[in-house]
Structure 1
Amino acid sequence: MEPFSFASSDQLDIPINIRIINLDGDEIPLPFSTLLERPDLRHIGSNQSHHSDLYVTVQVWAGSKPLTVPVQTAYKAFRTERRWNEWLKLPINYKTLPINSQLAITIWDLSPTGGPQAQGHAVPFGGTTLPLFDKDNQLLRGRQKCQVHRHKKADGNDDSTTPALRMAKGRAARNAEIIVPDKDADELDRMERLFKKHEQGEIPRVDWLDQMVFRGFEKRGIQSARSSLERIQRQRALEVKASRNEAGDQEGKQKADLKPGPSLFTLNIELPRFDFPVVFADHEYPPPPISSFQHLSSSQSNIILKPPPEVQFGPGINGVSGKDEERLIRVYDPEVGARDNPAESKHRRLVRNQHRHGILDKDLKPNAKTRDELNNIMSYSPTHVLTSDEKDTIWKFRYHLTRDKRALTKFVKSVDWADVAESRQAIQVLGRWTDIDVDDALELLGPTFGNSEVRAYAVQRLGKADDDELLLYLLQLVQALKYEHISTAANHEAIQKSSLARFLISRAVNSFMLGNCFYWYLMVECEDSSPDHGGRDNQTLYRKVAFDFMTALESHGPDGKDTRKQLLRQAEWIAILSKISTEIKESNESIARRTERVKAFLSDPKNELTNIDPPLPLPVDPSISITSVCPEDTIVFKSSLHPIKMSFRTTTGKKYPIIFKTGDDLRQDQLVIQIITLMDQLLQKENLDLKLSPYKILATSPSAGLSQFVPSVSFQSIASKYRTNPALSYLRQNNPDANGPLGLRKECLDTFVKSCAGYCVITYILGVGDRHLDNLLLAPDGHFFHADFGFILGRDPKPFAPAMKLSKEMVDAMGGPNSDHYRQFKQYCFLAYSALRKSSNLILNLFSLMVDANIPDIKLEPDKAVLKVKERFVLELSEEEAMGHLERIVDDNLNALAPLVIDKLHELVQAFRA
């Protein structure tokens, strides 16, 4: 089949528009004698003039009911023809239309005496009802010719008596008011359909031929209208003659004269045209709300339930004993969704009633078999769902498990928090538990744990972490505020009931490093108004927390006030950079001209960048304070968003280069860099320093941010400069040593091998995609690192992309696949993978806290984001099997042809763009 491009109507979030063009046609006028005898006809405008003033109303109907109020055309005085040529906007969007939507279009005449279906002095001249979707469920587009039913108001019903399209001849013949079209009319209809295809570009345009056809069609239309009227006049004469024969000449003449003259009117309208067909797609409504049904607690288990009510079947609905049993109507019961299986609920109550009070459970210990089962349960990852039997086992031995810090999250999952008595006892047991690790505390702050006591317990454990460790998880903890049930009402304090909000504010007030990052994380959330992010509710929540944070700083003495001033100065500094960045991005000047404009802007003393006094802590790296800008180092890059590289002089006299960008959401890059920084810390705790150098990055709004610039060169640039073994040649030029391995300083080669191993494993775990030689960077001292994380979690714009990016240039710089350095590289990969698998729970919990963070590659499938990372850890395999799995990935990538083809194609595309 050929590809067919179309759009769905539920994505069309624009109002319906319709253009009323003109009214074509004519009718046999009523005899003058009839107008004298009928005052109700005499004063109607259309009976007095062929070009009387009319107006049109349009209304949307569906299911024989109106969906909107009618919209009408403005007053217009006609001279030679009735032409409005006016667009009307209806108060309903395409995406909300049902499949049976219709436009009820009524043309109104004026009469001071009123009449049938009159509205005040307005009487219907005629009406027409046009379906918005055709028989193929496609939205009508372009010009439409609608048949006008004289003296009728458009009814809009599903079985309309005023259809816009002509009926079949057999049906039309049975309707006395519908004139059967002749052959000329059929030919004109066929030509109309062809003209519509011509307008939509389905028929190629030939100007000289089109003009001839249009003129011929216009003449034929006029001739057809005349012949139709002549045929109608002959038909009317026959009716008059028959009336005279039946009732006498005079009486028959009077009856015939009183009948309105036959007419052939068509209303020409135009509907919006779209580039592709729009096919009907129903809006997918959320599931019905589930009631907050509470399970019966032990104190309520003896309540006698009422018998089920007797069901009375309505008219037309047969009971079970009837013949048509399938006609029974099934009604959704919201309590069923909240209740467990009744048998399982009863079983759980019976089992847990035996261990309800815990008098005997405190000394209960598992046997060898049960102990193995519990150890197996403790090894489950955070995403694993416990069975009812596993929950019962954990509850039974809960006091024994208080000595195992791994068991706390499994115990919390096994509690029925809807049972008041059980939850109260669970909180008591919680107080006896041994200290848990930070990764378990982060899991308890996720979206699946709503009990405030449990969340407070997790916050208490986080309180034992120092500022440096807390900074590693701060991005996720700010996201966890969404699950704290903080009230967004104006009269509620934000942090009164949120232990996490109180904790973060208290720690941020006492540490400028934490306070700086906390402030900017909040600001980004405050500015994010997208519906995917929760809209105004989330904005209000974060604005409340930000207000309480600023209030806490003000009440913290001189240090707190000074911190607040510095944060506000940072915001002003960001606003200044955003101003020039936006201007440069939107200008149509050359790169050289843009660069000169930026330098002039930075050098202007009015912008307060040439002398920053007192020194300002950099938002992206608060440990660095800047004193002035260095305009001469400014560079504007050639990419579509034109990011700006600029340097600032620090208090130590050194230069700190940064890249500032507007028009791009850097939160995904910020998340990846944060995870890489965390993994680097985890590896160093295992005494494995892989020389990772994650650059610092900070999103300052949903569409702007800045990052640290690390002096380096892309592999693409190196490959274009050095033809043979480019990476090794580049390193030899910067770190020559004739006595060293491969002609390099040993430290440089060691740094390159270790950093390659670290980034290969980390980018594999995170599923980083779109890897090519332009975003693989190499510093002069041998540090290798990745940049540009626009695709993560396995997404990649290129087909057949490898699971791990290990380019030929990287392996050649190590001496080739048979060298000792490459074998050492693989050994580092195994050590790093093994170490990170031990901390998989922490990494998975961090990603679970980011599912609602409006990160592009997470919000595509938020329910699968954590599972995609978990798949890369292959936790179901043993240590030896996991190392074999990683070795196969490294070898397959090294021998694959697709990465080489992709890199070569990317090089050609970039060369073509340049």
Structure 2
Amino acid sequence: MEPFSFATSESLHHPVSIRIINLEGDEPPLPPSTQFENAELRHVGSNSSPHSDLYVTAQVWAGSKPLTVPVQTAYKSFRTERRWNEWLTLPINYSALPLNSCLAITLWDSSPAGGKDAEGLAIPFGGTTLPLFDRDNQVQKGRQKCHVHRRKIADGHDKTTTPAVIRRRTRSHGKRGEQAPLGKDAEEMERLEGLFKKHEMGEIPRVDWLDQLVFRTVERRGLQSAKGSHRTLQRRQGAQDSAAEKDGANGGSPDPESYHRSLYQLNVELPRFDFPVVFADLEYPPPPISSLQNMSGSQSNVALKPPPEVQFGPGINSLDNSSAGFGSRLVKVYDPEVGAKDNPAEAKHRRLVRSQHRHGVLDKDLKPNAKVRDELNVIMSYSPNHILNTEEKDLVWKFRYHLTRDKRAVTKFVKSVNWHDPSERKQAEQVLARWTEIDVDDALELLGPTFDSQVVRAYAVERLRKADDHELLLYLLQLVQALKYEHISPDSTQDATRDSSLARFLIARAAANFTLGNYFHWYLMVECDDNSPEQGTQNREMYRKVAYDFMTELVKQPDGAETRGTLLRQAELIAILSRISGEVKLSHESIPKKTERVKRFLADPKNEVATIDPPLPLPLDPSVHVIGVSPDETTVFKSSLCPIKVTFRTTQGTTYPIIFKTGDDLRQDQLVIQIITLMDQLLQKENLDLKLSPYKILATSTTAGASQFVPSVSFQSIPSALAYLKSHSPDSRQPLGLRQETLDTYVKSCAGYCVITYILGVGDRHLDNLLLAPDGHFFHADFGFILGRDPKPFAPVMKLSKEMVDCMGGVNSEHFKMFKQYCFLAYAALRKSSNLILNLFSLMVDANIPDIRFEPDKAVLKVRERFHLELNEEDAMLYFDRVIEDALGAIAPVVIDKLHELVQAFRA
């Protein structure tokens, strides 16, 4: 068979349109006697002129019901013929059309006196109903001749009374209601019109010189046929007139409808397509499945909301109710658990396909050709949250041995395995053992909630063992969250680490390194303190069990007892600070009195913070050993939570100020600072030092925490950033009067934070949380809104204010050009590590972070959108250049900053 190219209607997202060309036909004028007896006929426009003004309406119908509102032609004055030549576009696409769709086309005449089916001052001149699909279920296209049924509105019903095409009979038996043939000439003209349409659609080859001869000949024949048809109609009309007069003589009245039997044709045109468009029913997606998904074993500890209560509909219990009987109505209820199960046909197909690829010699030596290799490369480039379809999974499984040399393919291979099939699971474990060493980002992905196999998770942990303590500290926050997806029993009689390779690994590394152990301990304490419904009792008990096993392992170390005592002393210090912070927050004293109260409290020897002996590693930064507090350097900030600045004295003879506050959950700020620290490390690996200064922050509970205090000023508190920096680092030899090193630090740090806050979607940016250090370091504070959330309207995607640019010398300066170059370099470098950042966010989905908890299923997608991985590097840089330009030209942030300044002044 020859190839047949066609398209399906469901993929045709093009609006339905029709061109109203002209109206052909004629009818004898009404006799004066009829107009005299029917006064309303004298005012009808078509009775006064053969070329009176008409307008046309078109409407899509299906199933005897309208699908759209009617669309009408514009007003047009006719002189010699009724020709509109106007396209009408209806508000529906071809993809949404049912098979029985049709166009109801009505021509409207003017009648000030009204009449039957009148709408205002218009009465129907005639109507026609044109199906949008032909007998072969193909979309109608090209020119169409539609028979006009006089004085009728196009009904659009499935069994329409106004069809566009009337099937003529070859013979007439004189029965009433049957239409007689118009003659051989008319039939020949219909045949020629069909050929003309094929010629117009390109189905008949074009021969210009022959086509012109045929056109002239057919035109002459058409005129002869029209005259003959007109004479035939006049004879039929005369017979009807005689019958009408006879009825009038016998006491009846002549029927005005008898004077409107003339033949009218409306010429229209439908859109043309290069290929036939065949009807294909729209496949609607299945009903949404709620949170009652098939949970893997690793997700059994995740607290889910209780399933919704189901009320039985009428007839559900009819068989048990003797009064209802068997005749009661049954109600079908969609079961979401059934929708979550595997399709048995697809499962059978998968087993048949994969049974062909065992551990044979041929299978191990199987290599993809060039086309398949390109397909595999596309699969390898997918982001971590991409879901593979069945064909992609089968392809990865088929070439699994070939892919063992590609470290990127391990996560795609694990996603392609049916771990519930024992035979397939055994094969996958053997192949996984042969895989080349993977990167840390892939190992983190394998520890996520979607991977349940203990073999896979143990394989990921083995990769983490090769990371040093400094690198492991960058991911420790997420690894603690990954414990929720492990098989850890909260039963105190069992060893929590017995069945969890991740828990064993974390406890062993944290016990061997105090810095890791310090943060691991406090991360666990926060999870144990989380009493929210999202955390759940089971998770809380699990973390308590892990913390107990950590202490048990800690005392087994040579200096473990001393280390455990240090952690207990840290807890006592945090408890003392929490007590005074809570008292100050609840007191109704002025700020100076609150400050004096805190100073007296810290100086009191009974509280044991004025002097700390032996020195204590600070929980916020265990590399700093503090020996006491300097009460005179204490400050209480003017805020609703009244945070306290506490200055510690260190063993190095320096001071270390921190800000401690209660009543606020700092876990979201802690996450953002951790990601900024990680991004700084990634940029430096690319030899790009942007002078970032992420201050340390630690949540000690769900309602308290500490952060490092960095001496700085906000952009709101200084008249000019340039003047502030010049006062601390002046240099009259430089163009801006500022030391070059300070200016470079400012430009680089501005670029770094602009890119990072854009990727993380940090919101609520105003001049009060843009800080500047005397040495030129620029940084952000207060990360209460991330992932694109912002309490202010019309917030820009990136904060780049005029005050920031003026300190660089303006938008036309060389330093601003360097700022943009640093932005491009940072954005390109971070896009290379997008998988690592996305995996870290996927592990935090169940961490009870406010802005992640708001839409947990979209958290990773929001970060991924900011990377624009679908663009190549050049297009990505062009896009980010537009982001910078839009941020500079935005007016709303300027207005918001001014309003924020007025509000702060009013509060003061």
TM-score, normalization by structure 2: 0.65
2:543 is aligned to 542
Question: CA, structure 1 residues 516+349, in 2 after alignment: closer, same or farther (shift >3 Å)?
Answer: same
Which ranges of structure 1 fall in alignment gaps of 5 or more residues?
1-283, 294-310
Shift of 1:563: 1.1
1:591 is aligned to 591
Shift of 1:339: 3.1
1:778 is aligned to 772
2-structure distance, mates of 1:450, 1:341 = 21
Deviations 1:256-311 (A, max 9, x none): xxxxxxxxxxxxxxxxxxxxxxxxxxxx9976686999xxxxxxxxxxxxxxxxx9
User: How many residue pairs get matched?
Assistant: 602
The SS at the match of 1:706 is strand
Question: CA, structure 1 residues 315+500, in 2 after alignment: closer, same or farther (shift >3 Å)?
Answer: closer
1:28 is aligned to none
1:633 is aligned to 633
The SS at the match of 2:866 is helix
The SS at the match of 2:631 is strand
Structure 2 contact 810–816 (Cα < 8 Å) conserved: yes
1:658 is aligned to 658
Aligned: 1:668 with 2:668: yes
Aligned: 1:815 with 2:809: yes
1-structure distance, mates of 2:542, 2:349 = 41
The SS at the match of 1:632 is helix
Question: CA, structure 1 residues 553+291, in 2 after alignment: closer, same or farther (shift >3 Å)?
Answer: closer
The SS at the match of 1:692 is coil
2:246 is aligned to none
Q: Which amino acid aligns with 1:383?
A: N
1-structure distance, mates of 2:291, 2:787 = 29
Structure 1 contact 290–337 (Cα < 8 Å) conserved: no
Q: Which amino acid aligns with 1:454?
A: V
Q: Which amino acid aligns with 1:547?
A: Y
Shift of 1:344: 1.8
Structure 1 contact 292–338 (Cα < 8 Å) conserved: no
2:399 is aligned to 397
The SS at the match of 2:647 is strand
Shift of 1:577: 0.7
1:530 is aligned to 532
The SS at the match of 1:910 is helix
Question: CA, structure 1 residues 876+738, in 2 after alignment: closer, same or farther (shift >3 Å)?
Answer: same
Structure 1 contact 612–626 (Cα < 8 Å) conserved: yes
Shift of 1:331: 5.5
Superposed counterparts of 1:303-382, under 5 Å: 314=319, 327-330=329-332, 336-382=338-384
Question: CA, structure 1 residues 898+331, in 2 after alignment: closer, same or farther (shift >3 Å)?
Answer: closer
1:750 is aligned to 744
Structure 2 contact 492–545 (Cα < 8 Å) conserved: no
The SS at the match of 1:656 is strand
Q: Which amino acid aligns with 1:556?
A: Q
2:59 is aligned to none
1:684 is aligned to 684
2:555 is aligned to 554
Which of 449, 453, 456 is the equivalent residue of 1:454? 456
Q: Which amino acid aligns with 2:696?
A: K
The SS at the match of 1:327 is coil
Q: Which amino acid aligns with 2:682?
A: L
Deviations 1:567-624 (A, max 9, x none): 1110001011111111101111111111001000111111111211110001000110
Shift of 1:350: 1.3
1:173 is aligned to none
1:168 is aligned to none
Shift of 1:637: 0.4
2-structure distance, mates of 1:730, 1:420 = 69
Structure 1 contact 834–879 (Cα < 8 Å) conserved: yes
The SS at the match of 2:632 is strand
2-structure distance, mates of 1:457, 1:292 = 18
1-structure distance, mates of 2:507, 2:420 = 31
1-structure distance, mates of 2:292, 2:515 = 46
Question: CA, structure 1 residues 789+292, in 2 after alignment: closer, same or farther (shift >3 Å)?
Answer: closer
1:387 is aligned to 389
Deviations 1:749-779 (A, max 9, x none): 0000000000000000000000000000000
Deviations 1:827-861 (A, max 9, x none): 00000000000000000000000000010000000
Question: CA, structure 1 residues 780+315, in 2 after alignment: closer, same or farther (shift >3 Å)?
Answer: closer
Superposed counterparts of 1:727-746, under 5 Å: 727-746=721-740
Superposed counterparts of 1:779-794, under 5 Å: 779-794=773-788
Shift of 1:628: 1.3
Question: CA, structure 1 residues 556+781, in 2 after alignment: closer, same or farther (shift >3 Å)?
Answer: same
Question: CA, structure 1 residues 380+315, in 2 after alignment: closer, same or farther (shift >3 Å)?
Answer: same
Q: Which amino acid aligns with 1:688?
A: L
Shift of 1:330: 2.7
Structure 1 contact 290–334 (Cα < 8 Å) conserved: no
Q: RMSD of aligned C-alpha atoms?
A: 2.2
The SS at the match of 2:474 is helix
2-structure distance, mates of 1:442, 1:292 = 18
Which ranges of structure 2 fall in alignment gaps of 5 or more residues?
1-287, 298-315
Shift of 1:312: 14
Structure 1 contact 291–338 (Cα < 8 Å) conserved: no
1:467 is aligned to 469
Deviations 1:8-49 (A, max 9, x none): xxxxxxxxxxxxxxxxxxxxxxxxxxxxxxxxxxxxxxxxxx
Question: CA, structure 1 residues 285+602, in 2 after alignment: closer, same or farther (shift >3 Å)?
Answer: farther
Deviations 1:164-188 (A, max 9, x none): xxxxxxxxxxxxxxxxxxxxxxxxx
Structure 1 contact 692–759 (Cα < 8 Å) conserved: yes
The SS at the match of 2:571 is helix
1-structure distance, mates of 2:797, 2:590 = 39
| Structure exhibiting the larger radius of gyration computed from Cα positions | 2
Shift of 1:740: 1.8
Shift of 1:490: 3.5
Structure 1 contact 291–335 (Cα < 8 Å) conserved: no
1-structure distance, mates of 2:419, 2:646 = 55
The SS at the match of 1:701 is coil
Shift of 1:337: 3.3
The SS at the match of 2:630 is strand
1:864 is aligned to 858
Matched-pair identity in %: 74
Q: Which amino acid aligns with 2:458?
A: A
Question: CA, structure 1 residues 573+800, in 2 after alignment: closer, same or farther (shift >3 Å)?
Answer: same
Shift of 1:731: 0.7
The SS at the match of 2:534 is helix
2:104 is aligned to none
1:77 is aligned to none
The SS at the match of 2:678 is helix
Structure 2 contact 670–699 (Cα < 8 Å) conserved: yes
Shift of 1:357: 3.6
Structure 1 contact 445–480 (Cα < 8 Å) conserved: yes
Shift of 1:358: 4.2
1-structure distance, mates of 2:621, 2:840 = 22
Q: Which amino acid aligns with 1:386?
A: L
Q: Which amino acid aligns with 1:876?
A: E
Q: Which amino acid aligns with 1:577?
A: L
TM-score, normalization by structure 1: 0.64
The SS at the match of 2:612 is coil
Q: Which amino acid aligns with 2:632?
A: E
2-structure distance, mates of 1:835, 1:455 = 29
Aligned: 1:837 with 2:839: no
Structure 2 contact 289–336 (Cα < 8 Å) conserved: no
1:429 is aligned to 431
Structure 1 contact 291–334 (Cα < 8 Å) conserved: no
Shift of 1:547: 0.3
Q: Which amino acid aligns with 1:449?
A: F
Aligned: 1:494 with 2:496: yes
Structure 2 contact 294–341 (Cα < 8 Å) conserved: no
Aligned: 1:608 with 2:608: yes
Question: CA, structure 1 residues 734+838, in 2 after alignment: closer, same or farther (shift >3 Å)?
Answer: same
Shift of 1:334: 7.1
1:25 is aligned to none
Shift of 1:487: 1.2
Question: CA, structure 1 residues 490+551, in 2 after alignment: closer, same or farther (shift >3 Å)?
Answer: closer
Shift of 1:341: 2.3
Shift of 1:348: 1.1
Question: CA, structure 1 residues 289+733, in 2 after alignment: closer, same or farther (shift >3 Å)?
Answer: closer
The SS at the match of 1:863 is helix
Q: Which amino acid aligns with 1:879?
A: E
Q: Which amino acid aligns with 1:380?
A: Y
Question: CA, structure 1 residues 352+777, in 2 after alignment: closer, same or farther (shift >3 Å)?
Answer: same
Superposed counterparts of 1:138-217, under 5 Å: none
2-structure distance, mates of 1:287, 1:908 = 46
The SS at the match of 2:724 is helix
